[in-house]
Amino acid sequence: MGMGKTTKYIMKKQLLYILFVFSFCHCYNGQGLLSYFKWEADGLETEKFDRIAIDVTWNHWKKSPPGINQGLYSFGFGAYWFKDMPIGKKSNAAVALGFGFESLNFHHNGNFTTLSSSPNISSLVPFPNDSVIRTNKLAVNYVDIPIEFRFRTINKTLEDRMKFNFKLYLGFKAGFLVNNHSKYKNDNIKFKIYNLDHILPYRYGPYIRLGFNKISFVGFYSMTSIFDKNGPNLIPFHIGISWMRF
C-alpha cells in the first residue's frame, strides 16, 4: 500500500514536470520568452511599452504651519503596473490604466496634538527649540489606481529606440490610505503612533512623467490634504526619478 502511494506521488511529480516543460517551450517558441516582456520591434503585433514603473521621490508640503520646518531627507517609493493600450499599431499615442502602491515620508520638527480647548481638532505644533530630535516623521502609504495619456516616439528598430526614445506621460491617480504613522526618536525615547486622528482616507491629483528611454522625471501634486478639515492643512507634492520598462 505504501509502495503504491509512493508510485502515484512520483507519477504526479513527473506529470507536473512535463506540463511545466511543455508550457515553457510553447511560450519560448510561440513568442519568445524575452519578447513577452520587451518591445516587439519589427513584428506585426501592437507594441506595448512601460508596463512597470518604479518611482523614487522627494516629498514636501506646499505650506507648513507656523514654526514647522521640513527635513531635506523626506523620500518616497512607488511601484506600479500598467496595462498599456496603444491607439493603433506602431502608434505614438496610448492610454494606460494601472495599479500600484506608494509610500511617502515627511520629516519635520513638529508634534501632532489636540488642544484641550478643541479636542475634536488636531494641529501640528513645533517642539521646543531645546529639544534634541533624532528622527521625527510622518509616514503615509497608499494604494493607487492611475490612468495615463501617453505620447512617445516610435522608431523602426529596437536599436534605434534604445538610443533615443522620448516620452511624455500625463496622468491622474486616485488612491486610498492603507497605513499611516508618526515616528519620533531622541537620545532617551522613541515611539510610533499609528492611525493619527483626522487623516484623510483617500487622495487624488495629477502627475507627469517626462524623459528618455528607461529614465523619466516624475512629478505629482495632490489636490487633497493629508488630513481632513479637522486636521492641519498639509498639501503634499513630490518630484523624483522614474524607471520604466517592459
Domain boundaries, the chain: 1-36, 46-245
pLDDT in tens, 70-114: 988 899 999 999 999 998 877 889 999 999 999 999 999 988 888
The residues near 232 (Cβ < 8 Å, ≥ 6 apart) are: 65, 112, 122, 123, 124, 225
Regarding predicted confidence, which is higher, 3 or 191? 191
Average pLDDT of the residues in 167-192: 94
Query: Regarding beta strands 202-212 and 166-185, do their DSSP bridges make them parallel or antiparallel, or are they unpaired?
Result: antiparallel
| pTM for the model | 0.77
CB contact set of 241 (below 8 Å; sequence gap of 6+): 55, 56, 57, 215, 216, 217, 218
* Least confident residue range of 26-40, 92-106, 206-220: 26-40
pLDDT for position 195: 94
Partners of residue 58 on adjacent β-strands: 75, 239
**Secondary structure of residue 202 in the 3-state scheme:** strand
CATH level 2 (architecture), domain 46-245: Beta Barrel (2.40)
